[in-house]
Structure 1
Amino acid sequence: MMRSISAVLLIGALAGCASTGPGSTGQSQRPAGPPPPSARPVYNLTGYSPAFKDGYIDGCETAKKSAYGAKDARRISADTQYRLGWNDGFSICRRK
C-alpha cells in the first residue's frame, strides 16, 4: 500500500516538471486583425475621442513591445486624432 502511494506521488511530481512543448516561449502571439475590444488593454482616457483612444492604446502598447502594439499606417496618415493619440501613447509609455 505504501509503495503504491509513493509511486503515485513520484509520478505526480515528475508530471509537474514536464515542459510545455517545443517552441513554447510563454509569450502570446498577436492574432491577425484587431483584437476584440474585451481583450485590448484599458486606459483611463475619459473625455478623448474614440480615434484618440485607439491611437493611444496602439502607441503605448507598441512602446511596451506587447502583443497588442500596432501602428495603423492608413489611420496615421488620414486621422489626426489617431495620430495624436498614437504619438502621445508611444512617448509616454516609452519613458516608463
Structure 2
Amino acid sequence: MAPRAIFILLLLAPLAGCETTHQTLIAQGYPPAYADGFDDGCGSGRQAAGAITGEFRKNVSRYLADKPYALGWSDGFQQCQGQYLSQERQRYESQRNSDRDRDWEREKDRALTRPLHGN
C-alpha cells in the first residue's frame, strides 16, 4: 500500500472505535507480519521524533529475515515519525500565532488608552 494510503489509514484508525492499527491493517488485507512490523516501527518513529509515548522496538532478526515485517517496520517508522513531527509543528505555529495575537491585543489596548494629543 502506498505511504499516503497508510497515513490516511492512521488518521482514520481512531474513528474506527476500539480497533487497533494492527487489527485495521489485517482487516485491510495486510499480512500479520507487516502489521507487527508497522506497530513496532510506528512506536519507534514516534520515539525518534521526540514523543514521550513512543518506544523503540525492532526485532532485528525478524527484520533481516522477514520482508513483510521489515517493510511494515519501515512504513510505520516513517509514517508515525512524520505524523508526530507534523503535529508538533502545528502546535508550535498555533502557539506562535496565539502569542502574536496576544501581543497585538496589548498594543492595541495601549494605543487606545494613550491620551490623544491635539488641539
Normalising to structure 1: TM-score of the pair? 0.53
CA-to-aligned-CA distance 1:60-80 (integer Å, 9 cap, x gap): 011112354301100010000
Instruction: Work out whether residues 46 and 55 of structure 2, in 8 Å CA contact, stay in contact via their aligned partners in 1.
Output: no
Tell me which residue corresponds to 2:74: 87
Q: Does 1:53 align with 2:35?
A: yes
CA gap 1:80/1:61 in 2 versus in 1, 3 angstroms: same
Runs of 4+ in 1 over 6 A off after TM superposition: none
Instruction: Work out whether residues 38 and 72 of structure 2, in 8 Å CA contact, stay in contact via their aligned partners in 1.
Output: yes
Q: Which runs of 5+ in 1 are unaligned?
A: 1-40
Q: Which moves more between the two structures, 68-77 or 41-50?
A: 41-50
Q: How many residues align?
A: 56
The structure in which a higher percent of residues are helix is 2
Which whole-Å CA distance do the structure 1 matches of 2:65 and 2:80 have between them? 23
Which whole-Å CA distance do the structure 1 matches of 2:71 and 2:35 have between them? 10
Q: Which has the higher contact order (CA 8 A, sep 6+)?
A: 1
Q: Secondary structure at the match of 1:64?
A: helix
CA-to-aligned-CA distance 1:14-72 (integer Å, 9 cap, x gap): xxxxxxxxxxxxxxxxxxxxxxxxxxx92021210000000000000111123543011
Q: Secondary structure at the match of 1:91?
A: helix
Amino acid at match of 2:42: C
Residue 81 of structure 1 and its aligned partner are, at CA, apart by 0.4
1:70 to 53, 57, 79: 57
Which whole-Å CA distance do the structure 2 matches of 1:56 and 1:82 have between them? 7
Which whole-Å CA distance do the structure 2 matches of 1:54 and 1:78 have between them? 14
1:11-30 superposed matches below 5 A: none
Q: Which runs of 5+ in 2 are unaligned?
A: 1-18, 48-52, 84-119
